[in-house]
Structure 1
Amino acid sequence: MSSITLTGDRVRPVLRRGSRHRSWRSRLVVLSFMAPALIGLAVFLGYPLAAAVYFSFTRFSLLNPPEFVGLDNWKYLFSDPLVGQAAYNTLWLTVVMVPARMLAALLTAMLLNAMKRARGLYRVLFYLPALAPPVTSTIAFVLLLKPQTGPVDAFLRTLGIDGPRWFNDPAWAKPALVLLALWGVGDLMIIFVAALLDVPVEQHEAAALDGANAFQRFRYVTLPAINPVIVFAAITGVIGTLQYFTQAAVAASVASNQVTGGGGVSGTFGYPENSMLTYPMWLYTEGFRYNLFGYANVMAVVLFVVSMTVTVVLLKRFRTFIGGDR
């Protein structure tokens, strides 16, 4: 009996070592499959982020080696006369443009799904503007809204309405950018169309039998079902708007009838009266016009932190806001 007990006692550690060995092998297998993604994150995200943080404490241009200046660049961020205006414009676009695009895309998708005839044709027509390159679509949209000579202004005059100056008016420039974003909402609309088609029909039928009206079915059946798509649209929309650059830069250049200046930096950034100057545009200007790459890295790090913070907050709060999982 003792030999059996001893054998059993001696077997236990061997089994533990074998189990531990299999566990390590499983981890190594998982890491081997994850290695390409981890290496890509380290090379294209981790290293650039670490380099940006380091260079934010230096003064340098592309022609001179970095010179450590401590917190000087970070202190200048709070005294920069235009960074506040650029941040405000970007925040305004984020607060207005992202919900407007989501609402327009969702309503359009619901309308298309409710259609009985020519549904495919109208989907194509609504999606076509999203296929146009951003520069081309922005130029076309600015010309459509051009004061006095644009087709939209001419149409408004036939109705006896004196149209606004759109991209040439500081009060209307940002709303005009929102209209531009709504014109190309087809990319987001297609995603909502697919999400709505996946909503179980039997749940709508059960809710209707229980006496729920159309709004209640939308609130308690449709919204929870498309919850992941709404969260995805909100996060990608916020991140994209925080990096808003091309459309604002092209619109300012076309509206002011000026072309991009030397060095790839336009002298019309923010036209009119800095009303379309976004945070990424000012970051680009500080780096490539004034060669203040240390300060530009400060702005880049701040933009990254804000984007990550907003993403985390949306992931934690958005589902509760729309009545999803609590």
Structure 2
Amino acid sequence: MGRQIGDLPLDELRNYRPELVNKPESFDAFWAEQKMSLNTIHPQVELTWRDYPVPNVEVADIVFTTWDKTPLTGILVKPKDVQVHEYPVILHFHGYTGSCGLAADFLKWTTLGVAVIAFDVRGQGSSPDFGIYPNGSRIQGWMLLGNQDPDNYYFTNVYRDILMQLKWIRSEDSPIHPTKLGVMGGSQGGGLALGAAGLDMTVDFAVADWPFLAHFERALEIALTGPYLEIVNYFKWNDPQYQTYDNLLQTLGYIDAVHFCNLITCPTLMAVGLEDATTPPSTVFAAFNHLKSEDKTMEVYPQFSHEMNPFHEEKKLAFIAKQLQN
């Protein structure tokens, strides 16, 4: 069926479940310690409600001051009903170099009665990054910030932000009270959605389109475009004999989405394009096949690459509608 460019045939992909050889032994203890360190920190959150032209929708701009005082920018889009403060909520994550997007991007979810909250990932979109990273590089990119120290790595900080966001959404300080809570995203956002669902096992459902940040040891071998090449080129120009390779893979092991998947038991919808050279299909199937969810679906699109897929948007609407019915 279709073409498989630069990766395994589809029948092999469906059974591709690699051993997690780069998962650190202290993975669970590391994240338990991170959660504990955030328990006493409460974000400062400012909401500014807009005068929005769609009459049955309310929109607010958010400034979310997270654990290290970084003010993350975001958006809240919800159905308009002054009498109701309880809604199903989706926490949405954007792609690498992207942003939380526009309110119009989320209107299809409000038609299901869902509220959407999305933030600019630190350092991306309009959010600054107050993190202090112990190394530089001749290669630009967030992938490399603090890459030799998992406690001070860029994506460790991003996951800390997500834990704070999930805690706030469930708190009394939130403007809405979630009747169900799902996580969603594509590419970087897909990897973060899997990480969020693994870090917070009470999440009700997850949607991860062609996730990035998954199965690094495979991705670094076969990805031809995109952010994985930041790491490939880092070695070329900073460490041409790969002397720091094992230590860098150890750092990545703490944030690899595949390593969270055996903690995910909620209903999960994933998607893959078989011509994707940015998040190669085998890295996506590695995550999917390690999920513990009994209710999990992988939608396969043979001639799609790393791109917006309108056909899959219909699948996501049906999946979320089903979760709300359940």
Q: Name the TM-score, length of structure 1 as normaliser.
A: 0.30
The structure whose Rg is larger is 1
Greater helix share, structure number? 1
Greater strand content: 2
**RCO (CA 8 Å, sep 6+): is it higher in 1 or 2?**
1
TM-score, normalised by the number of residues in structure 2: 0.30
